[in-house]
Amino acid sequence: MFRASDFLGKLSKQSRRGSLLSKLRHGHRSKYGRALQANEASVYSNHVNGEYTNCVRDELGQKNAILNCGQPRLQYSRFATAAAEAYNIEPSTDGDSSHVSEEYANVNWDGLGFGLTPTDYMYIMNCSKGQKFSQGTLTRFGKTEMNPSSGILNYGQVPPPGKGTMYIRPLLMGNGPDLGVAPASEYTFVTYASPVGNYHKGALNLVVEEKFRRATPGGTGGVKAITNYAIIYKPISEAKAKGFTDVLFLDAVTGKYVEEASTSNIFVVKENVISTPPTNGTILPGITRKSIIEIARVLGYQVEERAILVEELFDAEEVFCTGTAVVVNPVNSITYQDKRTEYKRGVGTVGQKLYEILTGIQSGCIEDEMGWTVELD
């Protein structure tokens, strides 16, 4: 026979490191434990009916919404209050923000690398096949529920000026329970933010990869999909072991033309001409790439989107990479068939000029004459 108290004991034992139920059961036995015990039969009968996960999902929400997961709602009120108090949740009672000082989160901004620094919240929307996305919810940053056969498995804080970037990462996951090869029957859209530092520390030293190809015509190279990154891990590991920063991939058909680096687009500068490979289905059409092209043309540079022979790298005056994470990153050198070519970088270079204009517009330090900035109320 199912006993709610037995199930509670097992759950608390498994979740003792920070679980809300564990806190109420063990850390606040005298006060909040009674509130939980008074309601546990109803709570866990909901678990049997498949509804308990909704209760847990809302456990870190505001007081009045913590256990709004079914009938009878009144029986949850004391438990909800106890849960909120256990987590010191105090919703704001007024909209006055005049008392807020310009303080930043307790983060080592100077030592910030390009790794996850979780912020407090994330935004989630769900969608089933043939339906529209549900109204999204803002929830505490944390783990999300996922079916073991989900298709994806076969894959807030603003830094002080000059200390990094708030990186916003959107994810669209096909997570329906579909074992066969077919489009997912359910989808989840997640967006979260993390303050990050520069993806690369300093100028790049690239090596041309002659064995592996990042993408092929007719494939998914032109979209932001996890499949595009699986192939890069081995060559990058080998390149870094030899002292290089990143890998420069060639086209899959001839192996003669430059395509892009592992996480960024590439630009080659010679005199007043800036050249970059075309987005013909194997290269990701990055928004930073697009922005740099538009700024360069406004400044009077001749921008060519064309196939670039790898030998052209020997005669280039300057090379730089662009991407959401790298922004505009100068290339110090490129090595191809044991021949190393070095390039101009630093003050006065084309890449530096484009970087300063782009980041100036992004930060509001330069007037946006491109019409990209959207003011939010």
> Which residues are identified as catalytic?
224
Burial 125-160 (b: 16+ CB within 10 A, else e): bbbeeeeeeeeeeebeeeeeeeeeebbbeeeebebe
- Residues 341, 313 contacting (CB under 8 angstroms): yes
Helices (H), 321-370: 350-363
Neighbouring C-beta atoms of residue 65, cutoff 10 Å: 14
Q: Tokens 């049997």 label which residue? A: 48
Residue 334's SS3 state is: strand
Neighbouring C-beta atoms of residue 172, cutoff 10 Å: 16
Tokens at residue 177, please? 């329970």
Minimal CA–CA distance to 121: which of 63, 190, 175? 190
CA end-to-end span of the chain, whole Å? 56
Minimal CA–CA distance to 245: which of 237, 257, 254? 237
Q: Tokens 């307790």 label which residue? A: 106
CB half-sphere exposure, 252, CA atoms < 13 A: 14
Residue 276's SS3 state is: strand
Mention every residue, 6+ apart, whose C-beta is less than 8 A from residue 165.
Answer: 159, 195, 196, 197, 327
Tokens at residue 279, please? 């987005």
CB half-sphere exposure, 314, CA atoms < 13 A: 7
**At residue 174, what are phi and psi to the nearest 5 degrees?**
-85, 100
**At residue 71, what are phi and psi to the nearest 5 degrees?**
-90, 155
